[in-house]
Amino acid sequence: MLRGLWRIHSLLSKHACHQATREIRQLITLAIETSCDDTSVAVLETAHGDDISENQKAAGLYFHEKVTADNAQFRGVHPIIALESHNKQLAPLIAKALHTLPSPDHGSLSISIRSESGWIEKKKPDFISVTRGPGMLSSLNTGLNTAKGLAIAWQVPLVGVNHMQAHALTPRLVNALESRNNERLSPEFPFLTLLVSGGHTMLVHSKVLTHHTILANTVDVAIGDCIDKMARHILPAGVVEQSGEIMYGRLVEQFAFPNGPLDHGYVASRTRAEDLSPKPSIWGWALTPPLSRTRSGSRSKDMAFSFAGLGSAIERICHRNETAMTLDERRDVAREALRVAFEHLASRVLMALQQLNQADTADTQKIGTLVVSGGVASNRFLRTVLRSFLDIRGFAHIRLVFPPTSLCTDNAAMIAWTGTEMYRAGYESDLSCGALRKWSIDPIAEDGGILGVDGGKMK
């Protein structure tokens, strides 16, 4: 019954109705993000309504810090190391964040915190935002249980946030941090969202706050995971070890393009046939674009992503020529691998835009923005490829939006913002809600999407 109620309230008309109940004051939330190996805490204040000064920013961050677990020796995320890091870092970050809360104003509720000079009063957060899923259960539970404790202690509501929804809404946070209260948030719904990270690769039609239709998903591995594994084969010996990093996307980008965008020299092809044709290198190898050829026939028109084959091809090239491979050849392999991977992403974006245009509905005609979020969104070559594809293939009017690099990866600021949007729309979470290893953002998914899981309630 509750699940059905949530779905009814996700309709745009109901959504607008509930938004109106919480639009007339400033709100402060303390947010926690612990979905993987990053421990992050943020304090966000938002202003909305006619009683707020015209010159006031729509949002402001009092605090935002992140600590990443040291997984270097495992060359990847180790769940136990991540959990130990959360247990060690989360409480000190929250204690630090509390000191940044504003002083209480007339009529506002307060909490007492201990300082070096004694007890001081700080404005009490209006609610707690926390990542509920998807992610690693042990990591999620650390943050969720801490958030529940704060909500009980302060007697404030809890808002469990979908991690992927937060990535999609990050550009709205950035806009709010820069815009005045009386300006409309951008991007406005609907828009397209390309979520690209180490664990996800999906193209999403973001229609309203709680309705995000998945247009394409990976059938095997995520692009971020593929790039990390390719980097281990491509990069010269010692580069990975000396970096101390466990995510190698930034390293391989720097290796491929030492001078940044000046080295890109990229222009997209004009036809799909050119996209699907392997481009032989001067070294005698060529990379076949994903899904261009399969045993059962061409899958070039499938609305899906696939990166496992590309990763295997890079491994074969590097191992076959390992002893004789020069630095120049390794750099060419890196550039070609990134080109093929990013063109694969771009091809599905174009297919989605073409299909939505053909549908010719009111929503699709409004789409003018492609949001690119997630860890891989920080790659500047990806930005070059997408912009060139859109310009050359007839979609120059589409605006590309990339969050700042610091907000592309997992962070509590995006959880705070998404929690705030959900809270203003009337959504809260029960204290009985549990962490979710899997949690879709698509309402037609088996779990019902953002509003389909148990543990939510309307206010």
Cα–Cα distance measured from residue 235 to residue 228, given in angstroms and rounded to the nearest whole number: 11
Q: Return the pLDDT at 57.
A: 83
127-133 and 27-33: which strand pairing? parallel
Q: Return the pLDDT at 184.
A: 79
Burial of 296 (0-12, 13-18, 19+ CB in 10 A): exposed
Q: Return the pLDDT at 324.
A: 79
Burial of 245 (0-12, 13-18, 19+ CB in 10 A): middle
CB 2 within 8 A of CB 457: yes
Cα–Cα distance measured from residue 160 to residue 260, given in angstroms and rounded to the nearest whole number: 39
CB 441 within 8 A of CB 416: no
Place of tokens 């309504």: 49
Q: Per-block average pLDDT, block size 10, for the chain (459 residues)?
A: 42 40 74 96 86 74 93 76 95 97 88 91 96 96 98 97 95 91 82 92 95 95 93 84 72 94 94 89 93 68 92 91 83 96 96 85 72 92 97 95 90 98 96 96 94 88
Task: Write the single-letter amino acid at 116.
Answer: E
Cα–Cα distance measured from residue 352 to residue 360, given in angstroms and rounded to the nearest whole number: 13
Residue 297, by phi and psi: left (phi above 0), alpha (psi -120 to 50) or beta? Answer: left
Q: Return the pLDDT at 246.
A: 62
Which stretches of 10-52 are DSSP H helices? 12-19
Closest C-alpha among 379, 382, 376 to residue 221: 376
Tokens for 422, please give them: 């959900």
**Residue 429 pairs with which residues in a beta bridge?**
158, 456
Cα–Cα distance measured from residue 441 to residue 210, given in angstroms and rounded to the nearest whole number: 8
CA torsion, ordered 189, 128, 140, 425, to nearest 10 deg? -30
DSSP string computed for 136-166: -HHHHHHHHHHHHHHHHHHT--EEEEEHHHH
CB 344 within 8 A of CB 256: no
Q: Return the pLDDT at 298.
A: 65
**124: part of which helix (H) or strand (E)?**
none
CB 370 within 8 A of CB 190: no
| Cα 365–Cα 371–Cα 373 angle in degrees, nearest 5 | 155
Largest CA distance in the chain: 74
DSSP string computed for 336-361: HHHHHHHHHHHHHHHHHHHHHHHHT-
Q: Return the pLDDT at 320.
A: 82
Cα–Cα distance measured from residue 405 to residue 379, given in angstroms and rounded to the nearest whole number: 9
Q: Return the pLDDT at 120.
A: 93
